Structures are given as structure tokens and as C-alpha cells.
Amino acid sequence: MFKFFLAVLALLILSSCVSYQYDDVESSLLYLEADRFFSEESIAETYLYAEQLYDKPETIREVVNLFYLGKLYEEGVGRPVNYRKAMDLYRRAADEGFPKAYNEIGNLYRFGLGVEQDYNQALAWYLKAAEMNHDFALYNLGVFYEEGYGVDVDYARAFEFFQRSAALNNKFAYNQLGEFYRRGLVSTDFETAFRMYEKSFALGYEGAEDNLALMYLMGWGVPVNYMKAYDIFSKNADTSEFAREYLEKMNKLYVNMALNGSLEQKHRLGWMYWKGKGAEKNPTAAFALISEASALGTCDVVNDLGALYWLGVGTEQDFEKAVALFRQAIDKDENCLTAKSDLGIALITGSGVRQDVGRGLELLNSAAEAGLARAQFLLAYYHFHGIYRVPIDDELARKWLAKAVENAYENQDAMNKLMEEMKKSGSI
């Protein structure tokens, strides 16, 4: 369908060569066919928008043609930038009552492009488009009243315009509503602010994701989540100054936390450095922080320290120390499922301890029955392959694999591989 609209627009541009006598129109045709500037969705949306306003095909053809020729001159696509020609083309479309053209004329006056900057003129053109419920014009009016461009600052009116624009699914308007709720410009409501940012990002405004990260960092409207905040900021740091600034702040926060934080904070930060979730991987820092935090004596931090020794993360691999720490974690809390699972693996494989498959399976089963997806997957794996003298049992393998899937075991690749192996063997 979009290809059809592209073809239609290309024909329209060709037909305009005689009527408007602007040179280089052929290059715009090639440009549009290459889809290097205007998306097919944008072109189709504009054409359908015009169809809703006008009955006559020739009027639809004319306004769409004029509008996009104006955009080509405004953006300098296939020809030098020429704001005056763009203004002339937009005015011709505006003479036909086309709201998109009203909004573009407002933009040219607002930024002084090809004309003397004139906020009053911009406001007048935005209002004309807004009267016809044009979402970007409504958004622009919101910005004018928020910032005081040619009018007194009026947050209530700005908020109203942003609401009307958002009701038409304008992604920027949703972000501004989030700003208003977060900053308390009308009323403070962090949860609603978060939802507005989410909606803006879902509609395609990437800047809203940085605002979501800020909400996670500060715990506004959602629980504090350094990992999500850090991951978003680090992902966007190359293209967003806001993200770069907050990424630097978070790294400084982490340094301060490592030096002066509570043992709980040091454990959390060490885990993040270990996993590379919410922080850049740093095995040395992970081991140092988790070692220090182990003074807490809780099963999770003691077991994490054991896991670092088991894997050799930030330290030399030492199975015996790992096993001792797994046992210590279970002594601290007999319901410490990860420690049961880890000690079970050690006993089954005979790593750092004398092999005891029966006791190892007992521990793995205890953790699996309590819902630990990793233990469920390992039982499926061991019973299917029959390794380490674990008896082959397809029924148990199927049972535990199904449980691991149900509980969303995080190692999806390993789970998919086992599933394929079981399918090939006819076990499932």
C-alpha cells in the first residue's frame, strides 16, 4: 500500500513541473524513490490526511504536491535550501485550507527561516492549524505557552494544548505531559509522568527513553532501578548529551557507593559489575565488593562469593573455597535455593568435593521443586544426557524442561539447544 502512495506522489511531483516551474523536480523524484528522506508511512499518511479534507482528487493532488515540494525546498533535498520558495509553496497549499501547510508556515516564522522571525505570525498560523485539530500545531502552541514565545507563560494553557495533541497520538506531546507531571508545572504525579514517557517512547520518541531512565534512577513513579537506568543511559550516550551527563553521574555515584556505601549497596554494586547489568563488567571490582559485603553473612552474598571462586571471576578459580562457601550459605539459610543448586552441581560433577551424585540430585531437586528455573534446567539436561553418572530418564527430562520454560529460565540459548536435541532424539 505504501509503495502505491509513493508511486502516486512521484507522479504528482512530475505533474507539477509545468504548473509551478521549479527546476530540479526530477531529482526529487529519484530521491523519493530511494526513500532517503521521507518515509513511505509519512507520504501515505499525508495523502490519506488530504483525502479526509477534500472531495476532489485534483485538490488532493495539488495540496500534497505543494506540501512535499515545500518540504524539499525547506530541507534542501535534491536542490539548495530555499526557504522563500518553501514559504511560497506552503502558502499555496494553505490557500486550499491544508492544516499541515499552516503548521509549516508557523515554523518558518517561528525560527525566522526565509522571513523575519515573528512569534505573533507563528502563533496565528499554529492557531489556524489547531482549529482543524492538527496535532503538531497543538503541540507547538503548547511549547509557545510553556516557554512564553510571543505570549505570557501559561502552564495551564500549555498543558491543555499538549493534552489535545497527545489525544491525537503526538509522541512529543506525551513527553511534554510527562515533563509537566514530573516537574509539577500543573500538578506533581510521578506515576502518571512515567506512563506519559512510556507512551511517548512507544510512539517512537527516543528522547523519552532518557526520561524513563531518570525516573528509574531517582525512583520517581517506579522503584529505584540502577540497572535499568544505567543500561538506558549507556545505550544512548553516543547520541544523547542528557544520557552522557547522567551516565557520568552514575559512574561517580558507583565510585562513592564502593567507597562509602553500606554493605548491602556494595553487594548490589558488586553483582552489577559481575554480571555487566547496570554497570560495565569489572571482575576485579566485583570480587572486591562482594568479598567485603560477605561480612553481612547472608546466604545470597556468601553464595555469590562462592560463585566468583567457582567461576574464577576477579580471582583464581578455587572449587574447594567455592564449595565451602556454598555450604556456609545453606547453613545460614536452609532455603537458600541458589546455594543448594550450586552445591548440587559440585557434588554431581565432583568439583572441589568428593563426587556424590545422589546427594547432588537431592539438592538440585529441592531447589527445582521450590521453583528455581536454573535447577530445573540442569535436571533436564543431566537426565537427558546421562552425564556424571546421572541416570538417563526422558520423562524427568521432559518434566523439568517444561518447568524451566514455564519459569522463564534466563539462558534461553541453552534451553533452546536442549529442546532441539530432545526433539531430534524423539524424547519430545
Residue-level pLDDT at 41: 78
Which residue type, as a one-letter code, is found at position 404?
A
In angstroms, the CA 83 to CA 322 distance is: 71
Residue-level pLDDT at 7: 47
Neighbours of 112 (CB within 10 A): 13
191: Cα separation from own chain's centroid: 18
Per-residue pLDDT in tens (0 to 9) along the chain, 428 residues = 444 444 444 444 444 433 444 344 433 443 343 245 667 777 788 888 899 999 999 998 889 889 988 998 999 887 899 999 999 999 999 999 999 999 999 999 999 999 999 999 999 999 999 999 999 999 999 999 999 999 999 999 999 999 999 999 999 999 999 999 999 999 999 999 999 999 999 999 999 999 999 999 999 999 999 999 999 999 999 999 999 999 999 999 999 999 999 999 999 999 999 999 999 999 999 999 999 999 999 999 999 999 999 999 999 999 999 999 999 999 999 999 999 999 999 999 999 999 999 999 999 999 999 999 999 999 999 999 999 999 999 999 999 999 999 999 999 999 999 999 999 999 88
Residue-level pLDDT at 38: 67
Q: What is the 3-state secondary structure (H, E, C) of the chain?
A: CHHHHHHHHHHHHHHHHHHHCCCCHHHHHHHHHHCCCCCHHHHHHHHHHHHHHCCCHHHHHHHHHHHHHHHHHHHCCCCCCCHHHHHHHHHHHHHCCCHHHHHHHHHHHHHCCCCCCCHHHHHHHHHHHHHCCCHHHHHHHHHHHHHCCCCCCCHHHHHHHHHHHHCCCCHHHHHHHHHHHHHCCCCCCHHHHHHHHHHHHHCCCCHHHHHHHHHHHHCCCCCCCHHHHHHHHHHHCCCCHHHHHHHHHHHHHHHHHHHHCCHHHHHHHHHHHHHCCCCCCCHHHHHHHHHHHHHHCCHHHHHHHHHHHHHCCCCCCCHHHHHHHHHHHHHHCCCCHHHHHHHHHHHHHCCCCCCCHHHHHHHHHHHHHCCCHHHHHHHHHHHHHCHHHCCCCHHHHHHHHHHHHHCCCCCHHHHHHHHHHHHHHCCC
Residue-level pLDDT at 248: 95
Nearest Cα neighbor of 124 from 142, 103, 94, 145 is: 103
Which residue type, as a one-letter code, is found at position 74?
E
Specify whether the CB–CB gap between 28 and 15 falls below 8 A. no
pTM for the full predicted model:
0.74
Specify whether the CB–CB gap between 375 and 394 falls below 8 A. no
Domains detected in the chain: 169-224 (no CATH), 238-292 (no CATH), 297-369 (1.25.40.10), 371-428 (no CATH)
